[in-house]
Chains A and B, each alone.
Chain A
Amino acid sequence: MPKVMIDGLTVEVPAGTTILQAAKLVNIKIPTLCHHPDQAVKANCRICVVEVNGARVLQPACSYPVSDGMVVTTNTPGVRRARRNILELILAHHPQDCLKCYRNGNCELQTVAAEMNFTDDLRFPLAVRNEGKKDISSPSLVRDTSKCIVCQRCVYACSEVQTVHALAKSNRSFESVVEPAYGQDLAESPCINCGQCVQACPVGALIVKDDTDKVRDAVAAGKKVVGQVAPAVRITLAEALGENPGVVSTGRLVTAMKRLGIETVFDTDFTADLTIIEEGNELLGRLNKGGVLPMVTSCSPGWIKFCETFYPDLLPNLSTCKSPQAMFGALLKTYYADKYGIDPKELFSVSIMPCTAKKYECKRPELQSTDAGPDVDVVLTVQELAKMIKAAGIDFANLPETDFDIPFGLGSGAGEIFGATGGVMEAALRTVYEVVTGETLENIDFEAVRGLDGIKSASVNLAGTEVRVAVASGLGNARKLMNAIREGKADYHFIEIMACPGGCIGGGGNPIKNRAKMEKRLDAVYKTDKVLPIRKSHENRAVNQLYKEYLKEPLGEKSHHLLHTHYKARTEVIK
């Protein structure tokens, strides 16, 4: 193993280790901006330059691999001068309005400037690109290129991870800008609203669209505000409010929402269970009656738009089930409003989601079951709810816990694991196995479909029939799987796809993530499932009661109207 000396400290590291990684091992923190631990090397911001003995010029620590006997210095006057000048060049092209920026207090550029103690006046005239020209065309994201530092982390997320290619660097030199092709707005581009660019952006150039005022207005107007909370939200909300990743805050988040004026708070785990009943029966129907296989899940609205855009020929493979959020919205404005004597027009339905694409989904015209507006009026992401909680002066860390309200407050462990990649598959298998075989499943932990791997597969014996399943998260992985299906090379019966790497806990609306945080969130999902009294969707009493009282049977007429949907090809954006 190569031995390297950094600032006089010797460290032995495996070949291929970068100077940045080796320096970390001897407690030296080198500033970075374009570097992202989960992405390939870009080495374009140059803020991490160091001196390497024998090298002609400074070298970027984020990409330069160590070699045996290498001597590196990270804190010489020359290095400090170069870094300071690079930072000055970036700042002279960046708005100086940190105080009113969405990322104030949570910005990597701000942090680097503070840590480098940059307090000088700029020697260059401020030249902010595209000043005042925000792209607000997307229902999910706001793109403000004036804040962009052209690090291209969003381009990596959009093009390499998600293979959507909505964002790329345009122009050259000083005019460089990251934007959709031909300078289009995001809404005209193939963007599928997943928000992985928001997760990648070090500054405030790509942010979640803020809909919090719509909720405040509805509360102020005295509407009957009803909320639903997605499975992943309880995993990541505390993290967004400064607690450790993986701290689960189910009870506290209900309390906080009620204090914000969302008087009734339901659990989307409930409709996750409902999804399993509908989708499980749909799968059995397709298996028994020779329907289109493999059947692919439809919970992830980013994935749905991706499929509509790039794989319109495979739309018949998609389950017709609405997403759990959309099922919930439909039930709220019909069954719930009716049962509790509320005028659906007075009912304001708010979803708290880890997902930016849900903001797009709730605006789909086919997801309007009544004449009382969209089934879900507003979607707030975890980031937005955290901002509302902070702004309202709620001491989240010390809040008492409150249970979800009835009748939609009961969710099973199967609904809980919808938040992680493989969760929908595992939940479906728990139910489908017992329905088909009539036996009780001894071990309900399907380890083969768990974990952060991009593509996972397994096969399950269902009363003599071998059912082959696959799970993909991240649209680059989904693309691989869909290409295999197109070419007839994938022989699966059932496939789960989530647009975001890691599933909903890695969604664009969560606090900014990295792999290490994702592992803690994932762990929290399965720990929460493990301790719940009910862990199978078909044992959810509230779901069974809903069928008895209202829906009558899975895939029945009411279900058809309220819980299922249709899709349309959107290839025009890539032609």
Chain B
Amino acid sequence: MDDSVNMVEIIHNMLSFFVHESCGKCTPCREGNMRLYELVGKFLEGTAKEEDLDTMLDLSETMVRASLCGLGQTSPTAVVTGIANFRDEFLACIPKAERRVS
């Protein structure tokens, strides 16, 4: 993996792994991983809005703090660090009309 890869695609791929791996016992992990996967998918499809980044961070925090085991507590790490370090790559996926006016 080098700096030519699309980070949004990488994170989407990692989340598909966690969607598959979640045992489904606790709510935050069972439901949360799929919702994160769907949200990142919106960026790849070009249907995302900037608020979706806030939703992803908010949901990630709940998963980290409230999941029953280490899987759900750590699966959002890629989302949180991805948005922190590669925010511009996410923003580049958002159609111009949906971007916040800065």
State yes or no: do A and B come from one complex: yes
**What's the nearest-Cβ distance from chain A to residue B96, in Å?**
22
Stretch at the interface among A3-11, A167-175, A290-298, A313-321: A167-175
Contacts A57-B73, A174-B19 given; does A44 touch B25 at CB 8 Å: yes
Select the residue from B28, B59, B73 with max chain A CB neighbours within 10 A.
Answer: B28
Instruction: Point out the residues of chain B lying under 8 angstroms from A173, CB to CB.
Output: 19-24, 30, 33-34
**What's the nearest-Cβ distance from chain B to residue A45, in Å?**
5
Contacts A46-B66, A57-B65, A57-B66 given; does A85 touch B59 at CB 8 Å: yes
Partner of A46, one of B21, B23, B27: B27
Contacts A57-B73, A124-B38, A173-B21 given; does A92 touch B62 at CB 8 Å: no
Residue of B nearest to A86 (CB): B27
Residue of B nearest to A47 (CB): B27
The yes or no answer to A258 lying at the interface (CB within 8 A) is: no
Instruction: Point out the residues of chain A lying under 8 angstroms from B9, CB to CB.
Output: none
Contacts A173-B19, A173-B33, A174-B19 given; does A82 touch B24 at CB 8 Å: no
Contacts A86-B28, A124-B38 given; does A174 touch B22 at CB 8 Å: yes
The yes or no answer to A81 lying at the interface (CB within 8 A) is: yes
Contacts A174-B19, A174-B24 given; does A86 touch B30 at CB 8 Å: no
Contacts A82-B65, A173-B20 given; does A46 touch B26 at CB 8 Å: yes
Contact at A174–B28, with CB atoms within 8 Å? no
Give complex CA distance A89, B36 in Å.
11
Residue of B nearest to A125 (CB): B38
Bits for B39-67, please: 1 = Cβ < 8 Å to A, else 0: 00000000000000001001101101111
The yes or no answer to A123 lying at the interface (CB within 8 A) is: yes
Bits for A171-189, please: 1 = Cβ < 8 Å to B, else 0: 1111110000000000000
The yes or no answer to B92 lying at the interface (CB within 8 A) is: no
Partner of B64, one of A47, A57, A174: A57
Instruction: Point out the residues of chain A lying under 8 angstroms from B30, CB to CB.
Output: 150, 173-174, 176
Contact at B31–A89, with CB atoms within 8 Å? yes
Partner of A171, one of B24, B59, B67: B24
Give complex CA distance A249, B61 in Å.
52
Number of chain A residues close to chain B: CB under 8 A: 31
Contact at B31–A172, with CB atoms within 8 Å? no
Instruction: Point out the residues of chain B lying under 8 angstroms from A58, CB to CB.
Output: 65-66
**What's the nearest-Cβ distance from chain B to residue A257, in Å?**
43
The yes or no answer to B76 lying at the interface (CB within 8 A) is: no
The yes or no answer to A407 lying at the interface (CB within 8 A) is: no
Contact at B23–A172, with CB atoms within 8 Å? yes
Select the residue from A60, A82, A127, A174 with max chain B CB neighbours within 10 A.
Answer: A174
Give complex CA distance A149, B38 in Å.
20
Bits for A320-339, please: 1 = Cβ < 8 Å to B, else 0: 00000000000000000000
Contact at A82–B31, with CB atoms within 8 Å? no
Instruction: Point out the residues of chain B lying under 8 angstroms from A47, CB to CB.
Output: 27
**What's the nearest-Cβ distance from chain A to residue B38, in Å?**
7
Contact at A174–B62, with CB atoms within 8 Å? no
Majority SS at the chain B contact face: helix
A42-101 residues with Cβ-Cβ distance < 8 A to B are 43-47, 49, 57-58, 60, 78, 81-82, 85-86, 89-90, 92-93
Number of chain B residues close to chain A: CB under 8 A: 28
Contact at A46–B28, with CB atoms within 8 Å? yes
Contact at A49–B38, with CB atoms within 8 Å? no
Partner of A93, one of B25, B26, B31, B38: B31
Instruction: Point out the residues of chain B lying under 8 angstroms from A175, CB to CB.
Output: 24
Instruction: Point out the residues of chain A lying under 8 angstroms from B55, CB to CB.
Output: 123
The yes or no answer to B10 lying at the interface (CB within 8 A) is: no
Contact at A172–B24, with CB atoms within 8 Å? yes
Residue of B nearest to A123 (CB): B55
Select the residue from A44, A46, A90, A176 with max chain B CB neighbours within 10 A.
Answer: A46
Contact at A150–B24, with CB atoms within 8 Å? yes
Give complex CA distance A175, B19 in Å.
10
**What's the nearest-Cβ distance from chain A to residue B40, in Å?**
13
**What's the nearest-Cβ distance from chain B to residue A445, in Å?**
47
B1-33 residues with Cβ-Cβ distance < 8 A to A are 19-28, 30-33
Residue of A nearest to B55 (CB): A123
**What's the nearest-Cβ distance from chain A to residue B72, in Å?**
9
Residue of A nearest to B19 (CB): A173
**What's the nearest-Cβ distance from chain A to residue B50, in Å?**
13
Contact at B24–A169, with CB atoms within 8 Å? yes
Contacts A44-B25, A45-B26, A172-B22 given; does A92 touch B31 at CB 8 Å: yes
Please name 30 pairs of A and B residues whose Cβ atoms are closer than 8 Å in the assembled complex, sorted by A.
Answer: A43-B26, A43-B68, A44-B27, A45-B26, A45-B27, A46-B66, A49-B66, A57-B65, A57-B66, A57-B67, A58-B66, A81-B58, A82-B62, A85-B28, A85-B59, A85-B62, A86-B27, A86-B66, A89-B32, A89-B35, A92-B31, A92-B35, A124-B35, A127-B34, A171-B24, A172-B20, A173-B20, A173-B22, A174-B22, A175-B24
Mark B residues whose CB is within 8 Å of A: 19-28, 30-35, 38, 55, 58-59, 61-62, 64-68, 73
The list of the 5 closest CB pairs from A to B, nearest first, reads: A176-B24, A89-B31, A173-B22, A85-B62, A174-B34
